[in-house]
Amino acid sequence: MKNIFTYIFTLTLLAGCAGGGVPFDHTLFSEMIYSPTHATGFEIRGCEEGNSTLIVVKNPWQGADDVEQMLLIDRDGTFNTSGTDIQRIDHDAKRIICMSSSYVAMLSTIGKQEAIAGVSGINFISDKYVAANSDKIGDVGYDNNINYEMVVALNPDLVLLYGVMGASGMESKLRELGIPYLYLGEYVESSPLGKAEWMVAVGEITGARDKAVEIFSTISERYTALATEVSLAAKECKQVMLNTPYRDSWFIPSEQNYIARIIRDAGGEPFTIAGTGNSSQPIDIEQAYIWASEADVWLNVGACNSLEELIRQNPKFADVKAVREKRVYNNNARQTTQGGSDFWESGVVRPDVILQDLVTILQGDEGELYYYKQLK
């Protein structure tokens, strides 16, 4: 195994250093190929000549300030990126390691699931393609337990990373191995459609940008039409409580959090805290109990599958209005046997389906729920 590791490492390193004779200069990419309508964290640029493109990612994790990363897709083999921080691939990516399940969902949504070479935590992924091909797709681990021998053996064209309050711990090792990577920052987007729009960046990486734009446009149109229909109906606005205590802390989303925004688009009014961006903060536990008691509907109650489980967490919950009236709904209707939630996977790229669920819950419309289930 060690000899194989060394051999593949050498090939990968040489490939990563390859490039044309023109020194890379980002100012040559002055043509705006794609400027997002909802997402704030990426754009796609092109040259006046040739097919090479540049994906520019900005502030891809919470707390990032003026962080910028670029991935050059050098389809023409023109540019030399030696001595720069630019990540480079010389063709559309055909083998990708996804360090987040939402990246798996993006690839599947645009019909590029066969590019999934590796994942992080395969037993927590709901995607049907991954499940059916688990013998071919590598599980590289997660956090501080990354199997770098497997990463190299999978021979990826690209690794899709995420950062939590800072750069991924994988970054320095991937640089050492000469394996290109790109951060996706969909999780910091506060717009539901902004999160989904990152599929266009993934489309660019895999040579399917036009298809990704078409699919995203359809999702956006569905979402907007449903939100408009709700706003014109002007039914009674229900107060919504979110989450449950975790280690004596009750996290409540900011008023601009994407879940709060979907709830408002569905005709509800969530209890939130002041703040911007897609963040949540712990609040005083007694204040949270007051809000829970006042709420008409209670959503996203952790791992609970029944009202009995919820009450077992805290007997006080038995007196909560939403519990008494059986108006508690959890977003775990679709999960793996290990507890992986499809809400946080495919739900990222299907905000229109989440919105439809919440309209059904909050407006009393008929219809089956997809990501949510009513606790009984």
Handedness of CA 82, 150, 102, 59 (dihedral sign): negative
Identify the pLDDT of residue 279: 82
**Phi-psi category of 191—alpha, beta or left, where left has phi over 0 and alpha has psi -120 to 50?**
beta
335 φ, ψ (degrees, to nearest 5): -145, 155
Identify the pLDDT of residue 20: 67
pLDDT block averages, 10 residues each, the chain of length 376: 41 47 92 97 94 97 92 96 94 98 98 98 96 97 93 98 92 96 96 98 98 98 97 88 91 94 97 86 92 97 95 94 97 92 97 97 90 97
| H or E stretch at 374 | strand 373-374
- CA 29 to CA 328: how far, in whole Å? 51
- CA 343 to CA 192: how far, in whole Å? 13
Q: Residue 28 gets which letter from DSSP?
A: G
Among all chains, which residue has been given the structure tokens 């992986």?
Answer: 340
- CA 222 to CA 122: how far, in whole Å? 31
First CA to last CA distance, the chain: 52
- CA 65 to CA 253: how far, in whole Å? 21
Q: For the residues of 360-371, what is the DSSP string, one character each? A: HHHH---S--SS
Torsion of CA 26, 32, 37, 39, to 10 degrees: -20
CB 322 within 8 A of CB 244: no
Torsion of CA 171, 177, 180, 182, to 10 degrees: -10
Identify the pLDDT of residue 19: 62
Identify the pLDDT of residue 352: 98
- CA 303 to CA 308: how far, in whole Å? 12
Identify the pLDDT of residue 148: 97
Angle, helix 209-233 to helix 258-265, in steps of 10 degrees: 50
CB 317 within 8 A of CB 311: yes
Among all chains, which residue has been given the structure tokens 């993006």?
Answer: 106
Identify the pLDDT of residue 2: 42
Length of the chain: 376
Domains by residue range for the chain, with CATH: 2-217 (3.40.50.1980), 235-374 (3.40.50.1980)
Hey, which residues does 88 pair with through a beta bridge?
Answer: 72
C-alpha distances (whole Å) from 4 to each of 1, 10, 20 are 5, 10, 28
In terms of DSSP H, where are the helices of 27-159?
101-109, 128-132, 148-153
Identify the pLDDT of residue 11: 39
- CA 10 to CA 234: how far, in whole Å? 63
Residue 48 tokens, joined: 């006046």
CB 300 within 8 A of CB 246: no
Q: Residue 242 gets which letter from DSSP?
A: E
Identify the pLDDT of residue 68: 96
Maximum CA extent, the chain: 72
- CA 374 to CA 112: how far, in whole Å? 34
Among all chains, which residue has been given the structure tokens 């960046």?
Answer: 201
